[in-house]
Amino acid sequence: MSIEGFPVDIGVVYEGERIRKHEMYAEWGGVKQKYKFELVRVRPLEAVEDGKVQVIGPDIKDLPEGAKAQPLGILVEVAGEQLKEEMEGVIERRIHDFCNYIEGFMHLNQRYDIWLRLSKKSFKKGLNSFTWIGKALCRLFKSELPIIEKIQVTFITDLEKVKEMFDEALKIYEARDARVRGLKDEEVDAFYGCTLCQSFAPTHVCVITPQRYSNCGAISWLDARIAAQIDPKGPLFKIEKGDCLDPVLGEWSGVNKTVKEKSLGEVERVCLYSAFTYPHTSCGCFECAAFYIPEVDGLGIVHRGFAGNTVIGLPFTTIADSTAGGRQVPGFHGLSFEYMRSPKFLQADGGWERVVWMPSEAKERVKGFVPDEILDKIATEKDVSNVEELKKWLKEKGHPIVARWKEEEAVEEEKLPEEAAPAAVPAAPGAPVVAVPQAAAVPTAGGYQLVLNLPMPAAAGGPTYKIILKDVKIIAKKMILKKITEEEKKKK
């Protein structure tokens, strides 16, 4: 794709490009800026001036190098004979990949969560105005979605003006989400999938059903259905449900088949309503993350906009990192706000009865959908600041999770420590001198029970030792597995 005089390259190859702090010229949105959004509106044909790009407030070139967390609203207005208001959500979601096609320009997340950066390199090449970005968007939208006949783009960077439109945007998002509520997964004939995030998370496939919104919170089942119709070559596609293998976990044969195909064999099974059993993968743009707190056997939930530390002492970013990238990580789970409003929300794990902590702001946003008898029993950052306090709080408030502790303690007495441990691995004759220990971690009420099986080399007698560590809490930022060379072995 080329636009006359465009200062940098535009192409799919630039998708997935990250711009680090030291490489960036300027930044808009992100956690430190509340006022940011992107919005698509369908207008009558006569109300849109095709190709017009406007900047309201300071342009890129007006910012000093290194400008951080600037306010930004991106308003894309489109018109076309066949365009309908219901299509706004899916058109809007494409702002993400189209921005990322621009060399040295990074776009993350969606709706009110956007985060953009421009590299110093591209700025130096002449990408110093939103007018260029707007021109690229106009061109990309029209070529990829021919249903759009006219398009105009407005960038709002004036804080007061962004604030004004911000509340309106939130209302529009809410109205979109509300449209799908009431539709049930059992009642529809097909689900939809989205691979928009594969540029950042290559094995991630979002499965979108009426009762399980996309991780990003920007695509409903209705949106996905429209997208698959108007843009059959785009990132959204139909999934035949196949047989329902488990209605509580939310496992369907058709979902498994499609996810396996689209994840290139990486993910073979997905249960839509569990954070523990073959959980849905997490991309990178999820609005919230659920995290398991073994000490209380409950789930915490944290949203992207929460800047503090969660009750386990880790911020959103660290929790997000432990599940992002298209992986299936039991107990760490990317999800959207709208999924929390679904009756199917983590139903296999106990639903809201399993949730023990969330930031007050997040709680406020979903409170109409949490059963009344549980709402006040979920602690926030205002109530507790560590797991010990949380435990006390849950007991005092009589949170339903407390009943699970008793059951678990009973089970623990019966089974542990021997039976729950995986079988020891006998040392094979001629086993390598340095064996990788086999490890298994079993969550318990007080942490993890970690079992390491260490086969000893035949030369040392060959027995297998079992090390059992109880109530373990481990935080590892990195794991390095290193093969030891013959020479290093001799030194030892």
State the residues that interact with Zn ion by CB under 5 A.
197, 215-216, 283, 285
Smallest gap from residue 218 Cβ to Zn ion (A): 9
Smallest gap from residue 215 Cβ to Zn ion (A): 5
Name which of 312 and 319 has its Cβ closer to Zn ion.
319
Smallest gap from residue 196 Cβ to Zn ion (A): 6
Name which of 217 and 250 has its Cβ closer to Zn ion.
217
Q: Map residue 414 onto helix, strand or coil.
A: helix
Smallest gap from residue 109 Cβ to Zn ion (A): 8
Who contacts 303 (Cβ-Cβ below 8 Å, separation ≥6)? 287, 288, 316, 337, 358, 359, 361, 362
Name which of 155 and 221 has its Cβ closer to Zn ion.
221
Share in percent of the chain as helix, strand, coil (round to 5)? 35, 25, 45
Could you give the CA distance from residue 130 to residue 135 in angstroms, rounded to a whole number?
Answer: 8
Name which of 177 and 353 has its Cβ closer to Zn ion.
177
Contact 236, 90 (CB under 8 A): yes
Within 10 angstroms of residue 295's Cβ, the number of other Cβ atoms is: 22
Smallest gap from residue 145 Cβ to Zn ion (A): 20
Q: Tell me, what DSSP letter sits at residue 457? A: P
In the chain, count of helices (H) and strands (E)? 13, 20
User: Alpha helix (H) ranges present in 322-438?
Assistant: 337-340, 360-366, 372-375, 387-397, 401-415
Name which of 96 and 365 has its Cβ closer to Zn ion.
96
Token readout for 27 is 């930044």
Name which of 116 and 197 has its Cβ closer to Zn ion.
197
**CA-closest candidate to residue 205, choices 125, 141, 266, 259:** 259
Smallest gap from residue 339 Cβ to Zn ion (A): 13
Phi, psi of 257 (to 5 degrees): -60, -50
Name which of 281 and 310 has its Cβ closer to Zn ion.
281
Smallest gap from residue 202 Cβ to Zn ion (A): 12
